[in-house]
Chain A
Amino acid sequence: MSKYIFKRLLLSIITIWAVITITFVLMNTVPGNPFANENRRIPENIYENLIRKYGLDKPKSEQYITYLKNIARFDFGESMRSDAETVNEMINRGFPVSAALGFEALLISLIFGPILGTIAALYQNKTPDYISMIISIIGVSVPGFLMGTFLIQFIATKFDWVPIGGWGEFRHTILPSITLAMMPLAQISRLMRSGMLEILNQDYLKTAGSKGLTKSVIIMKHAVRNAILPIISILGTTISNLLAGSFVVEKIFGIPGIGMFFVNSVFNRDYTLIMGVTVFYAIVLITMMFLVDIAYTLIDPRIRLIKGGH
């Protein structure tokens, strides 16, 4: 096990290095600079003062090495668009917000997704199945900005206890977390349904039935436990996506999370912030994948991490 973890760790570092390098190259090939702005243009000599201040006048190779060195110390540098916060400060402040919201969304989808999928499987081709299907289709196909706008328009403006947007209290999180949860909820319920259907026809369930176990015990103990496995395999990406926030949901509901940095930093060519959030996301994603792999072995002993290991 420790050998495996070490190998994974090494692989992770190489992956992150590759992410940094690719991002650095891409970001420098896209035209534009961090100091141009739609409403205002900067004279050449002032532009020179600015690039000197942020070290962009140095050769690209030198900039690359400086980046690597700083990132090794987890120092993402100063945002080129904000004088008020460093990139580290931005991530430190934005991530807990996005993560809290993502966690809530995850809970919603993890609670209701399997329930919905199980019900659909048990009532295959009956009304509950169709209802679950409709919810899933909405979840997968209605984009976040539409869902968010819809919820604001028809729930927030009608009920005082649900705020229209903003951040600060638990009630601020209700609508955005529902919006965020819709997609994973739909995916999970579909996975759960097909998993359940497959398992319900297995012989061992019939055996369990003939042994005299009640239906609820069979479903909870045998069917659900097996059907849930495919869900765990998608959890790594789902969790990291949810934790990293969503540009659309954060923009619509005015949430001070990390999600909007992913889009705004590229649009503004805020090089340090682009690098900061990309590397940060890579770390989150790699960690989650790793945890999921471990979780897999714990739940399903048939899977071994190391070839031949017992």
Chain B
Amino acid sequence: MKKKLVSFVVVLLALVMIVTGCSSPADKTGGKNTESPKKKILRANNGSEPGSLDPALAQGTHESWILENIFEGLMTFNENGELVEGMAENYKISEDEITYTFTLRDGITWTNGDPVTAEDFEYSWKRVLAPETASGYASILYCIKGAEAYNTGKGSVDDVSVTALDEKTLEITLEIPTAYFLELTAFYTYFPINKNVVEENPDWAKDPATHVSNGPFKLVEWKHNNKIVLEKNEHYYNKKKIKLDGIDLDILEDQNTAWQKYRGEEYDLLIDVPASVVDQLKQTGSPELEIGLQVGTYYYNINPDVRPFNNAKVRKGLSMAIDREMIVEQVTQGGQIPAVGVVPPGMEDENGNDFRKSTGDLIEYNTEEAKKLFDEGLTEEGMAIEKFNNSNFVILYNTAESQRKIAEAIQEMWREVLGIKIGLENVDFQTKLKREQSGDYQVSRSGWMGDFMDPITFLGLWWSECAFNDVKYNNPEYDALIKEAKSTNDQNVRMAAMKKAEAILMKDMPVIPIYFYTQPFTVKSNVSGVFKVPVRYPTITYADIIE
């Protein structure tokens, strides 16, 4: 009996080894790397599985991080983080600032050896806009003439003003002057795809064997929910700038496990560092930690249709009672920056200075003034503080530990400074969105991540016609300034208008900015050349590993 049992267990164990061994063949690339130690492979973690590696269908940062390394647009960011010509050799802008003519470089090819042509660009952009492609990011191409009409089924593809004049020349006409259009051509939805490949095989982007791209690296392996392997693209025109032989990305969702792997020398770089670790690294002054700027603002929506929140003094009082310094230092602890307006730092004004700095602080923390304004506002609305406290107002936030902590801190600050009682309510993210859209909230946690580095990506949100203007802010004076900023490439005019607009917005305070997002990341000391453009994840394209 005993013997039988032992042999049974042995057989079962052997079976398990075979089963698990078979279900995922042993790590071959790992073995290869150790055989030839000269290869420079950067190892990092991509926090979640990409939904698609087709630029037209990608819609998040965990996709863009990979796409930015395997594709390149007309413009790109160079090793110093400056916007420079990528696939384009040069470009011309017409006098009326709406026609752009790009001339492509010589000798640019796809990873399969085909030349990259102007026709590929025309095809790719029109494919993004085709309603049946259902690209979630198509709206970023709406500045092109005829694009929105085509995408929404009201116009024809022939009226989209993107034309390949010849193999090397691409002409684009915009709806109105768009000062940040050049930067947009570096955005992943604007990346080209190989027309012949895509037309032949609609599933080209699903398999590394058929995936064709034009960037510094190419996709060689994609094990779903497990790992992605990129290899240097020897066809890339600028390959001498690329020091790495490849990039190995794990797909590991758990931040703490990823951090343990970074600590255990399994990663050279980590982009999603747990907040508690960021705080600890800051305390110890770790040289591996970098706090990158991000184009994002965290704010609270205040529902203007609920009395007394319709009163600007009430909203300003609420804002002034928040100690944002304390929130980022003690509560969020992830290296965030206290908000002093809606536009985060990292964007340039007409003189090349930081827009945030030159606009100055538009938010202050002043408990006495807060109480005074809040009480005045309440009186104007004919509401006693007892009535306010009995109204069961709540701060609505999406269920997450980090959100709860912030909401609790603010709840306590409002109680202490203004003497008001406000509850907390958490629902899942999707439900919160629905309730915001239907106006079923008093105060709700919100945020915005910009797609390009121009203050309009934030200020445009509270334009009365913007679909994402949840608080339905409507101020004709503000609208006029936004319209002005949207109608010209003249940065002097635009920036002046936007600075004025932000001041008006912060005077009315339809939303209460709390902090500016940042992206802390850690890099091992033997890795150089990693930097962060605010609008992107840390750029690893030009990284080098020093032995």
* Chain A positions near chain B (C-beta within 8 angstroms): 30-33, 35-46, 48-50, 52-53, 81-85, 90, 93-94, 96-97, 100-101, 103-104, 107, 111, 149, 152-153, 156-157, 164-170, 173, 220-221, 251-254, 256-257, 260, 267, 269
Contact = CB atoms under 8 A, between A and B. Distances in A.
Contacts of A40: 59-60, 449
Contact of B224 (A46, A83, A85, A149): A85
Interchain residue pairs A-B with the least CB separation, the first 10: A32-B430, A256-B225, A83-B52, A254-B252, A53-B134, A31-B434, A49-B134, A45-B152, A256-B226, A165-B257
B20 A104 contact: yes
B131 A256 contact: no
B254 A252 contact: yes
A169 B26 contact: yes
Contacts of B20: 100-101, 104, 170, 173
Interface of B: 1-2, 9, 12-13, 16-17, 19-21, 23-27, 30, 49-54, 57, 59-61, 131-136, 138-139, 151-152, 205-206, 222-227, 250-254, 256-258, 260-261, 263-264, 266, 296, 398, 428-431, 433-435, 447, 449, 467-468
A269 B50 CA distance: 17
B260 to A, nearest CB: 5
19 contacts: A44-B467, A46-B136, A49-B133, A49-B138, A52-B134, A82-B49, A84-B51, A84-B205, A84-B206, A93-B224, A104-B16, A107-B9, A111-B9, A149-B256, A156-B264, A165-B261, A169-B27, A251-B253, A256-B251
A36 B254 contact: no
Contacts of B17: 170
Given A50-B136, A156-B260, A164-B261, A37 B59 contact: yes
Contact of A35 (B12, B136, B264): B136
A254 B398 contact: no
Nearest to A79: B51
Nearest to B435: A31
A9 B134 CA distance: 41
A104 B428 CA distance: 35
A146 to B, nearest CB: 12
Given A37-B59, A44-B467, A169-B26, A31 B430 contact: yes
Contacts of A107: 9, 12-13, 16
Given A32-B431, A40-B60, A84-B51, A46 B135 contact: yes
A237 B371 CA distance: 59
A177 to B, nearest CB: 9
A254 B25 CA distance: 17
Contacts of A83: 51-52, 54, 57, 205-206
Given A83-B54, A165-B254, A256-B225, A39 B468 contact: no
A53 to B, nearest CB: 4
A254 B45 CA distance: 11
B525 to A, nearest CB: 20
Contacts of B25: 168
A300 B136 CA distance: 59
Contacts of A111: 9
Given A46-B135, A107-B16, A170-B20, A254 B224 contact: no
Contacts of A42: 136
A268 B73 CA distance: 30
A157 B257 CA distance: 10
A253 B152 CA distance: 43
B261 A168 contact: no
B445 to A, nearest CB: 11
A49 B131 contact: yes
Given A45-B152, A168-B27, A256-B225, A157 B263 contact: yes
A253 B90 CA distance: 48
Contacts of A38: 398, 429
Contacts of A152: 256-257, 260
B224 A164 contact: no
A260 B21 contact: no
A41 B225 contact: no
Given A49-B151, A84-B224, 5 more contacts: A40-B59, A90-B224, A100-B16, A157-B260, A254-B226
Contacts of B467: 41, 43-44
A48 B433 CA distance: 17
Contacts of A254: 226, 250-254, 257
B252 A165 contact: yes
Contacts of B266: 164
Contacts of A167: 24, 226
A37 to B, nearest CB: 7
A6 B17 CA distance: 36
A53 B132 contact: yes
A84 B134 contact: no
A26 to B, nearest CB: 14
B135 A96 contact: no
Nearest to B470: A41
B260 A46 contact: no
A32 B12 contact: no
A260 B225 contact: yes
B406 to A, nearest CB: 15
Contacts of A267: 428-429
Contacts of B24: 97, 167-168
A33 B430 contact: yes
B52 A82 contact: yes
A89 B323 CA distance: 50
| Most B-side CB within 10 Å, residue of A44, A81, A100, A107 | A100
Nearest to A217: B1
Contacts of A101: 20
A36 B27 CA distance: 36
B100 to A, nearest CB: 24
A224 to B, nearest CB: 10
A250 B59 CA distance: 24
Nearest to A111: B9
A71 B260 CA distance: 41
A36 B430 contact: yes
A173 B24 CA distance: 12
Nearest to B154: A45
| Most B-side CB within 10 Å, residue of A35, A39, A52 | A39
Nearest to B131: A49
Contacts of B434: 31-32
